[in-house]
Amino acid sequence: MTDREPKLDVYLVRHGRSESNATSNTILGRCESSPLVSSGVDQARRVGVSLSKAGLLPAAVYSSPTVRARSTADLALQAAGLTGSGAEVVEEAALHEQDVGAWFGRVASLTFDDEVLAQIARSGKDFRPPGGESMNDVATRMLEWLDSLTVPFPPPGPGPVLAFTHGGAVRALVSRLRGWTHAQTYATKPSNCSVTLVSSGADRMWRCEFLALTADEAFTRRTAERSIP
C-alpha cells in the first residue's frame, strides 16, 4: 500500500489521566465513572490544540462510553475549535477498556497469585478473568469495529477518524496487528493521551503506522507524509 492509494486513517487516542490511574494496586478495567484529574484535563486540551495546529479535520469522532474517554473527546474538540462544526462524538462500545469481570475492584497484588500467574502463562493472550475478556477478545472487537468503517471503500468524508479509547484496548489491537507475544503486549503501556495510528487501504488490511506518540508528533507526522508529492 503506497501513500498515493486511498486509505482510511484512524487515530486512537488514549484518554487523559483519570482518578482510576492513581489506584495502581486495584483492578478496575472499564470503571465507567472515573473522571479526569486536572492533569488529564490539560492533556485532553493539548490533544485538541495539536489537532488544530496540524490542520486535521476529522470525518468522524468516536469515543468509548466511559466518563474519562468521553470527557477527553469533548475537551479535545473544544480546544480544537470543532465544537458545533459537525464533528459530533459518537459513543462506541467496541472502544471500551478490557472487561475484567469478577476481578473488578480487587487488590491486584492479592489476585495475581502463583496459580493465576501460571494460568496466564499457559493461556497467554487467551487468558480471561472470570466473567471478563481476554486480550484476544478485545483485539477482535476492536478489529470488527474498524472493519465496519471501511464499508463502503473508499470511506466517505475527506478526513481521518478520531477514536478516544483506552490503553488496554490499544495494546490488544496493536498486538494482533503486529503479532506480538503476550509478554510484549503486557509490557506495552501507552501513556495518557498518546496517539496511535492504524490505517487500511483497498485491501481492507489494517496496519499500525505508529504507536503511542504525543499528539503533536502523531498529527504533524501524518500531515507531513500526506504533503509529500
Residues placed in the known binding site for substrate: 14-21, 68
> Is 97 designated active site?
yes
Cβ 195 vs Cβ 212: under 8 Å: yes
User: How many CB atoms sit inside 10 A of residue 80's CB?
Assistant: 23
In the chain, the amino acid numbered 112 is F
Task: For the chain, give the number of residues.
Answer: 229
Residue 68 and residue 96 in contact, taking contact as beta carbons nearer than 8 Å: no
Residue 27, SS3 per DSSP: coil
The catalytic residue among 15, 96, 166, 182 is 15
Catalytic site residue from 96, 97, 166, 182? 97
> Is 88 marked active-site?
no
Residues 6+ apart with CB under 8 A from 46: 79, 193, 215
Binding residues: 14-21, 68
Hey, what's the cell of 171? 495494546
C-alpha cell at 21: 490511574
Question: Could you give the residue numbers annotated as active site?
Answer: 15, 97
